[in-house]
Amino acid sequence: MLEINYLRAIFSWDTIALIAMLLFIIFTCTKRINGNDGEHETKDPQEQSSVYGSNDRAAVSADKLLVALSDGADKRIHMNVSECLDRLDELVAHCNRMQDHKNTKKGNFDNRKYEQECQEKYIIYQEIVRLIFVKYSTNDEICISALTLLTIISNEEKVLERILYEADIYGINLPILVAKESLRRIRLLPDRELCYNSDNDEVEENQDWYAAELQKHTALFLGSLCNSCNSNDMATLAVDEGGLELILEAASFFRMHMSTLHWLMWALFTICFDNMNNKSHFIRLGGITKTCDVLTGIYDIVESSQDDVVPEKMMQTRRHATALLYDVLRNTETAVNNSHKMERLRAMAVNAGLHDVLLTSIKLCNDDAEAVDVYEMSREMLLGTGYSGVIPKSIHNIHWAQK
């Protein structure tokens, strides 16, 4: 009787339901570990993603982009601009999610396996970006989205290896060439009107806006790439591929576009920082004069009181431009060994209007409590280039020193 009650207890519906649930959990976990190998057999060929092991929206977007962009694609397979942008936005969002996941589980064994899967996805995304640059090189809007995706993944190990060792296919020369062509096209347009603020919704359809945004994203890509690498190799590569020429030309052309100038000046500083060869090339290209012109243009905007200029972006642009000049003119070990060259260089800077630019910058520092670093750099450059006049004192700098 006890055995019968025992068997009834074992085979009761509650127990059976519990066992079924446990078996389902075991089956699900096993399926995830094996990568859902059997699932692809029943899926629609267009919807499955054999390279990812999962059927998320990013995988579908990546596959459809690869099919539509490939050279041997069927003419019936067509993707319009709007759909292409939506697919790229999905890939960008997916990359951001992957980055967040890796950062939250750093050092975990499962995370290392996840990292390997991510690297496989990154190189597929890199191939998509390359195909877009080839097929949509004249469409600034699509190239901006592609550059955003490339910037996010550019510091990943596998992607970086292809940039360095497969430069003929995946090198930085391709995005630089796309940005140069965009700048050339916008220069040929008649009756061009430069917009002051890239956040203004009223100018989103303006071709100038898209061209300026493309230059900004190219600068973000180059600056991020050079800033993340431990050596100067990437910065030297950026200069060899014409990155400095592109950035200086864009800065001269979009001199009223604060959001673009901000990142152009940052990229210049990142490429030239602590790299004597790049600094020398920057000087040969007239970089000091062009940077002084950028600062002068900013001060003209301040005096004309343009209401649609974002002050924060203007301050950041001033900070990066001032830091760039300071780094080029400062006394380094190499500069001390070539003191005669540095004297001529500083004389060139003075002739380019450096003193007037720095004095104006110091005056503006009194209106901004966050500009102490700009004041200090400007003051040291004035002293180092032989300025004999009176250097105004910053009210905020005095308060900051007292603290």
Taking only the tens place, the pLDDT of each residue in 104-123 is: 765 555 667 777 888 889 99
Say which DSSP state 37 is in: G
Cβ(246)–Cβ(184) below 8 Å? no
pLDDT confidence of residue 298:
84
Confidence of residue 11 (pLDDT cuts 50, 70, 90): very low
Cβ(225)–Cβ(238) below 8 Å? yes
pLDDT digits (tens, 9 = 90+) for 239-250: 999 999 999 999
pLDDT confidence of residue 239:
94
pLDDT confidence of residue 4:
42
Give the C-alpha separation, 339 to 336, whole Å.
5
More confident residue, 25 or 260: 260
Cα-Cα-Cα-Cα dihedral sign, residues 55, 59, 60, 66 = negative
User: Hey, what are 274's tokens?
Assistant: 């602590």
- Mean pLDDT, rounded, for 133-138: 92
Tokens 């960008």 correspond to: 92
How far separated are the first and last CA of the chain, in Å rounded? 88
For the chain, how long is the longest CA-to-CA vector?
111
More confident residue, 365 or 121: 121
- The alpha-carbon radius of gyration of the chain (Å, integer) is 28
Cβ(78)–Cβ(68) below 8 Å? yes
More confident residue, 107 or 346: 346
Confidence of residue 144 (pLDDT cuts 50, 70, 90): very high
pLDDT confidence of residue 372:
84
Give the C-alpha separation, 264 to 76, whole Å.
41
More confident residue, 329 or 74: 329
Buried b (16+ CB within 10 A) or exposed e, 17-36: eeeeeeeeeeeeeeeeeeee
User: Hey, what are 363's tokens?
Assistant: 């005056």
What whole-number percentage of the chain has pLDDT above 90?
31
**Separation of CA 233 from chain center:** 18
Confidence of residue 80 (pLDDT cuts 50, 70, 90): confident
pLDDT confidence of residue 111:
66
Query: What SS3 state is found at 317?
Result: helix
User: Hey, what are 382's tokens?
Assistant: 């004035």
User: Hey, what are 279's tokens?
Assistant: 């600094």
Look at 121-125, 184-188, 203-207 and tell me which has the smallest mean pLDDT. Answer: 203-207
Q: Cα dist. 145→200, 254, 311 in Å?
A: 19, 20, 26
339 CB burial (10 A radius; 0-12, 13-18, 19+): exposed
Most confident of 40-54, 114-128, 220-234: 114-128
Say which DSSP state 332 is in: -
Please choose, from the candidates 143, 258, 301, the residue with its C-alpha nearest in 3D space to the C-alpha of residue 211. 143
pLDDT confidence of residue 399:
43
Mean pLDDT score of the chain, rounded to an integer?
77
**Separation of CA 114 from chain center:** 24
User: Hey, what are 67's tokens?
Assistant: 């099919």
More confident residue, 117 or 71: 117
Cα-Cα-Cα-Cα dihedral sign, residues 357, 360, 362, 367 = negative
